[in-house]
Structure 1
Amino acid sequence: MADIIGMLIPFFGLIAVGYGAALYFRQPIEALGWLNIYVIYAAMPALLFKLMSRAPFADITRFDFILFDVLGTYLMFVLIFAVARLWRRKTTPEATMQAFAGSYGNIGFMGPGLSLLAFGEKAAIPVALIVCFENATHFTVIPALMAFAKGDRRSVIQLAGDIGRKVLSHPFVLGALAGLAAALLQWNQPRPLAQFVDALASSAAPVALFSIGVTLALKPLTRVPGDILAIVPVKLVLHPLAVYAVLTKFGNFDPVWVHTAVLVAALPTAASVQVMGQHYGVWQEKASVTILVTTACSVFTLSAFLYAIRAGWL
């Protein structure tokens, strides 16, 4: 257990540095904007490009792995959506946001850094695939459900085209697709370009984790609504267990790939959930609380899952 704690200290330590800096310097949260732009539009796409472009093409086209990982995630999405909509009688937009919060972790900002730290370079391909395809799936499903709930009058073709354009223009997806093309073409990158990509990629995790810490400090927790108390264990415990069950039941994958998927599924709710809530004008305050609570609790749940993996229980 000591080695797991030692591994997580620098990871959560960067979050703590951001948290402390925000409390000490007292800058407005708007000051974080350029930092997030750097992570989303430069560092993370570079990291995904690096991971995908330098991997064997056969490995990055493991669509069976992608299918079963997404299936495990959407079992949780459907579960939370059904409970919220049918039992708690929430509206479709509210149920959609709750399901989003309980199934979409901070895979972009935290996934690659933690996976590579825990499992080494063997985790590079599975985590890149998860980040790319789970982002693409979520940012297809959420707008589609919201359009249906709000009575969008566009034709199915127009709606699909609009959603498709937004998904394909997402920086994470663009970075991964560029890496996929480079791997397919077996492109030997010029050394200056490779060094530039490495420099951007190496900054992704530290800057992203610092940004998370600042966000947590500037959005203090006031109270925890009851429906969030049900979402937290689903996201941090049931989600990774569901992914593990599906991958081990229906696939024959390298244990590192399975463990990477489990660890990524155990990540806390992503800040994008609040962004989507603000965009659609629904559940934004509760999304903020969910992010704070799941991030704080993930210190313990991530440690537990890493311990279970190291002990051979998973």
Structure 2
Amino acid sequence: MADIFGLLLPFFGLILIGFVAAKITRQPAEALGWLNTFIVYAALPALFFKLVSRTPIEQLTRVDFIAADLAATYGVFVLIFAIGYFVRRNTLADCTIQGFAGAYGNIGYMGPGLALLVLGDAAAVPVALIVCFENALHFVVAPTMMAIAGGDKRSIGRLAFDVFRKVIFHPFIVSTALGFAVAALAIDTPLVLQRLVDYLAQAAAPCALFAMGVTLALRPLKRIPVEIGYIVPAKLLLHPLVVYLVLAGIGNFEPVWIYSAVLLASLPTATNVFVLGQLYGVWQERASATILVTTLLSVASVSLVLYVVKSGALPANLFP
């Protein structure tokens, strides 16, 4: 466990530093804007480009891995949505945000840094694929569900165009697509460009984790939703378990790919879930509470996942 603690201390320590700094300095939420812009439009895209462009192209075309991961993640989404809609009798819009709270992990800000720290460079490709394809599908599902619920007043044509534009031009997607192109064409990038990309990529994890801590400090816990009783265990325990069972059940993937997917699935609810709730005016405070609670409890749950992964207790093939 000492090794696990050593891995997690700098990781969650950066979140804690951001949290404390925000409490001490009492900067307004708007002050975080430019840091988030740097993370989303420069640092993380540089990291994804670096990871993908330096990978053999045959490793980047694992459609089976992408499909299995998405199926597992949206299996959890459908379960939480169904509980909210059929058992709790919540609105379709509320259930949509609840579903994302249980299945949309903080894979962008927390995923790359943790996976590469724990699993090394071999985790680069599965992490990049998961982050890009899960985010792309989230960008499609969220507005579609809200349009069905009546919370999105755009016409079908306008909605489809806006969703397409958001997916195609998102910095994560663009940088990964460029990485695919460089890898497929075996382009030798100039040394000066490699150095710039490396500098930006090195800043991605510390800046993202610090910003996450600040964000948590700026969203105090105001309301504990009843739904948190099943959403939290679904996100922190059920989601990684389902991802593992699906991928290991198929049994056609390298162990590091499975462990990367499980590790990313164990991460707490993404801050984007609050952004979605705020955008559509539904389940906002409760989404904020879910993010805070899952993040705090993830210190223990992620430690558990790391212990299981590092101990070799997870076979990569359930049916050898």
TM-score by length of 2: 0.95
CA contact (8 A) 2:222 2:285 kept: no
CA contact (8 A) 1:65 1:251 kept: no
**Residue 255 in 1 paired to residue 234 in 2?**
no
Matches of 1:221 and 1:94, distance apart in 2: 19
Change (3 A) 1:223 1:161: closer
Per-residue CA deviation, residues 212-244 of structure 1 (Å, 9 max, x unaligned), is: 111122222234221122100000000000000
Per-residue CA deviation, residues 30-77 of structure 1 (Å, 9 max, x unaligned), is: 111111111011111111111111101000111110000111100100
Matches of 2:246 and 2:275, distance apart in 1: 30
Per-residue CA deviation, residues 243-290 of structure 1 (Å, 9 max, x unaligned), is: 000001124100000000000000001111111111111111111111
Q: Map of 1:68-87 to 2, 5 A cutoff?
A: 68-87=68-87
Aligned residues: percent identity? 59
Per-residue CA deviation, residues 171-210 of structure 1 (Å, 9 max, x unaligned), is: 1111111111111111110000000001111100000000
Match of 1:110 in 2: 110
3-state SS of 1:59 partner: helix
**Residue 283 in 1 paired to residue 283 in 2?**
yes
Amino acid aligned to 1:196:
L
The Cα shift of 1:151 comes to 7.4
Change (3 A) 1:152 1:283: closer
Match of 2:179 in 1: 179
**Residue 39 in 1 paired to residue 19 in 2?**
no
Match of 1:147 in 2: 147
CA contact (8 A) 1:64 1:251 kept: no
Matches of 1:288 and 1:162, distance apart in 2: 26
Match of 1:268 in 2: 268
**Residue 9 in 1 paired to residue 23 in 2?**
no
CA contact (8 A) 1:72 1:242 kept: yes
Per-residue CA deviation, residues 56-100 of structure 1 (Å, 9 max, x unaligned), is: 100011111000011110010000011111111111100000001
Matches of 2:90 and 2:167, distance apart in 1: 27
Match of 2:197 in 1: 197
CA contact (8 A) 2:39 2:208 kept: yes
3-state SS of 1:290 partner: helix
The Cα shift of 1:304 comes to 0.2
Match of 1:243 in 2: 243
**Residue 23 in 1 paired to residue 54 in 2?**
no
**Residue 67 in 1 paired to residue 72 in 2?**
no
CA contact (8 A) 2:93 2:151 kept: no
The Cα shift of 1:152 comes to 6.0
Amino acid aligned to 1:62:
R
Match of 2:318 in 1: none
Amino acid aligned to 1:54:
R
CA contact (8 A) 2:151 2:280 kept: no
Matches of 2:3 and 2:72, distance apart in 1: 29
Amino acid aligned to 2:132:
C
The Cα shift of 1:154 comes to 6.2
The Cα shift of 1:309 comes to 1.1
Amino acid aligned to 1:281:
G
Match of 2:228 in 1: 228
TM-score by length of 1: 0.97
Gaps spanning 5+ residues in structure 2: where?
A: 315-320
CA contact (8 A) 1:77 1:99 kept: yes
3-state SS of 2:267 partner: coil
CA contact (8 A) 2:240 2:263 kept: yes
How many residue pairs get aligned? The number is 314
Per-residue CA deviation, residues 287-310 of structure 1 (Å, 9 max, x unaligned), is: 111110000000000000110112
Change (3 A) 1:206 1:151: closer
Gaps spanning 5+ residues in structure 1: where?
A: none
Matches of 2:85 and 2:6, distance apart in 1: 42
Matches of 1:217 and 1:308, distance apart in 2: 31
Change (3 A) 1:108 1:152: closer
Amino acid aligned to 1:183:
A
The Cα shift of 1:161 comes to 3.0
3-state SS of 2:55 partner: coil
Change (3 A) 1:225 1:158: closer
